[in-house]
Amino acid sequence: MKKNIWFPALLTLTFFAFAAYGSATADNHKKLKTVDGSFEAALEYAAETQKPVFVMAHAEWCGACRRLERNTLSDGEVIGFMNANFVNFDFDIEKGEGPELVEKFNIQRTPSLLFITPDGEVFHSFTGYKNARNFLSEADEAAKKFEN
C-alpha cells in the first residue's frame, strides 16, 4: 500500500504558518504603539480619541534615549499603560520636523518626555532616563492631571 505523505506535510506546514503568525501577532502587542507621520497627525488623533499625547524627543547619538527605549519603553506594564492612556509619538530632534518641534517646545535635553493636550499645550514633562517603575509614576501623574 502506497503512503500519502502530502497530507502530513501540509498539516505540518499549516501548523508552522499559524505558529509564526501567532508569534508575530504577540510581538505586535509588545510594542509601544506610536503615531506614524507628523506631530499634527498625532494631535488630530488625540482629539479624536480624547487622549493626551505622549511625546519622546530623542536623538540617534543619545545613549539615555536608547536605554529608555530598550529597558523602559519595552516593559510590558509600561507599554500597556501608555497604549491605553496616551497617543504616543516620538521624533528625532535632528530630522524632519524635529528642529521645529525642539524650538516650539524649548527642548534642551534628550530624552525629553512631554505630555501634551490635544490642543498642543504641554501639561507635564520630564527629561532623562527613568526605569519602568519611575516612568510609570510620571505617566500616571500625567494621566491624572489630564483627567482633572
Q: What is the pTM of this model?
A: 0.79
Q: How many CB atoms lie within 10 A of CB 92?
A: 17
Give the whole-angstrom CA distance, residue 88 versus residue 28. Answer: 15
Tens of pLDDT along 122-137?
A: 999 999 999 999 999 9
pLDDT value of residue 39: 97
* Residue 63 burial (C-beta neighbours within 10 Å; 0-12, 13-18, 19+): exposed
Give the whole-angstrom CA distance, residue 50 versus residue 137. Answer: 21
Q: Which residue numbers in the chain have pLDDT < 50?
A: 9-29
What domains are defined for the chain? 31-147 (3.40.30.10)
